[in-house]
Structure 1
């Protein structure tokens, strides 16, 4: 199996760690701004209603990540003794919050935020720019693969429509907060700074490719286009979310709402869940954690079909996006795949403020 090998780095190599991420943020950000101006639609801030405006949220997110790392650790190590607590903070800042780490956290969170908000806005503008839909074709493909059956109907018969619905709804909805949480985890607590750049760059690639896929093959999804497929399900958070998205879409198209969030192909739930599992497989040695993320990926795929969010083709598209983002993210941040070789440390000395960037690059194995 291919292993990861760290290449020799120089000054240009360190800049390359974040070059693609910055380029993606600029390109998709400008695209979203131009599209909004051309269509006379305001840039929507989907989370602004309860997290505050972006100019407040960005420094809060960056500062909050630093505080979340420093304060609990310092209080635990200092045992509430002021002198020991201050010493613990200083030690953590010296060993962990180096210039390279601060750059990773501030630049990584900022660029990811720009990419994600731009993705949400371009997704919202989709029905104004691409009125065609390919739901019929994708449903025909689903039924051809399943001998005339719909994936949702088969899963309802197999798993039931009550308890399974609640379990799968919890998995599906957990994805929403995990998007931001896991970016923060990899940027703040990854022992290898290179892993942080790899993770956030791969995320940026995936969300950007997901935006492109929406415009290539616009769909609403089977649960919205063919609501009878999911009408027998018990009410869950996932079904409530679908209803709210339908109402928001109606308000956006026929009233004065600023935002809608319906787009089917490809499945970003599938893409991001698989990307998480791949990153854990290659950067985390705990077998239990790896199993959890692979199970989460499997259940997420099932949930997308069970609730009628996506067609099988949407999930296949999401898998393709994850694989491309994972590989390009590795290459863009200085990692390369070489068949049959174990990971090795770069022979050149690492910069003093960026410890461990070329360490432990082989996939974790049980």
Structure 2
């Protein structure tokens, strides 16, 4: 059961303009970098089939509404009639707070994808990352070692499902960061940290351009059964080749980059979000999930081993920079909604 105490409209109004301005200063700076890069490569911003902005925005709104309704049901204190639930939602979500939430969620959704696509114009350095991995593991491929240890039968399909579940986690996490935060500023801290991990991750793509072990050493993954992972990898390589061959095509867009692992970076940043809100059991559960994700990314050939600690580093930096960006120094003293 949660307390019905929430921020007053006055506090939301006073406290949201500064954090919103700081968040959008970060996002617009990143957009400016994207505009500059667009001019260099001669490719305009794109949203193929509406997947990276319109589709994400619609999904964000839907998930946010679900969290708001679920939180309203809990705050109604077991009075499940519609009037009580709507009254609970109205008390928490007046126009000011909804505006603050919209500003935060929109900032997250405009961050990231085109700059990653244009990393395709840089020369990959997969051979260097592959050599680092083999040096660390005494001349062996860490992926092959995992195949021997875990097997390549039904375990491969289970690992594939684990890896694929990341998409659901990412879809749920950042609307939850806004919908369930007690203080508006904590919602902004969470979104700023999530923006930072994408920004830093994109920076590492340019620092060490790479495609991944599945491309550099395909023989290491020949024993795996045919799964969605291989089909997706082939699709990503074909998209990249299309962009390089015909950059002027309206739907030419690349999605594949390895260093650093944003599966690891984003998951670790979400763990930081749970830590910020003092959700100890959630931190433990997500930490177990993170270990499984790290295994899966190497096992399936998406990432080199060295991509994993790099992902942890950018997550740590994101949680240093997020609160600094918003200007918040202390964590909330109470847990967020729905808990």
- Secondary structure of residue in 1 paired with 2:230: helix
Residue in structure 2 matching 1:113, options 109, 112, 133: 109
The aligned residue for residue 5 of structure 2 is none
Which is bigger in relative contact order (C-alpha 8 A, separation at least 6)? 1
Residue 60 of structure 1 deviates from its aligned partner by 7.4
Change (3 A) 1:267 1:243: same
Change (3 A) 1:19 1:162: farther
> Equivalent residues in 2 for 1:70-219 (5 A)?
70=69, 73=72, 85-94=82-91, 96-99=92-95, 101-115=97-111, 119-128=112-121, 130-131=122-123, 133-219=124-210
Change (3 A) 1:239 1:291: farther
Residue in structure 2 matching 1:315, options 305, 308, 311: 308
Residue 275 of structure 1 deviates from its aligned partner by 1.0
Deviates more, 1:22-31 or 1:38-47: 38-47
**Does the CA contact (< 8 Å) of 1:104 and 1:196 recur in 2?**
no
Residue 100 of structure 1 deviates from its aligned partner by 5.1
CA deviation vs aligned residue, 1:15-55 (integer Å, no higher than 9, x gap): 44334321221112222234334433232215615x8x73x
- Secondary structure of residue in 2 paired with 1:336: coil
Residue 263 of structure 1 deviates from its aligned partner by 1.2
Instruction: Could you tell me which runs of 5 or more consecutive residues in structure 2 were left unpaired when the two chains were aligned.
Output: 1-10
The aligned residue for residue 350 of structure 1 is none
Deviates more, 1:147-156 or 1:184-193: 184-193
**Does the CA contact (< 8 Å) of 1:271 and 1:321 recur in 2?**
yes
Number of corresponding residues? 321
Residue 78 of structure 1 deviates from its aligned partner by 6.7
**Does the CA contact (< 8 Å) of 2:38 and 2:45 recur in 1?**
yes
Question: Could you state the TM-score of these two structures normalised by the residue count of structure 1?
Answer: 0.78
**Does the CA contact (< 8 Å) of 1:223 and 1:309 recur in 2?**
yes
Change (3 A) 1:134 1:63: closer
CA distance in 2, matches of 1:47, 1:21: 28
CA distance in 2, matches of 1:12, 1:85: 31
The aligned residue for residue 336 of structure 1 is 329
CA distance in 2, matches of 1:177, 1:272: 12
CA distance in 2, matches of 1:17, 1:272: 22
> Equivalent residues in 2 for 1:274-313 (5 A)?
274-285=268-279, 287=281, 289-313=282-306
**Does the CA contact (< 8 Å) of 2:267 and 2:290 recur in 1?**
yes
Residue in structure 1 matching 2:35, options 28, 33, 36: 33
Residue 63 of structure 1 deviates from its aligned partner by 7.0
> Equivalent residues in 2 for 1:218-257 (5 A)?
218-255=209-246, 256=249, 257=251
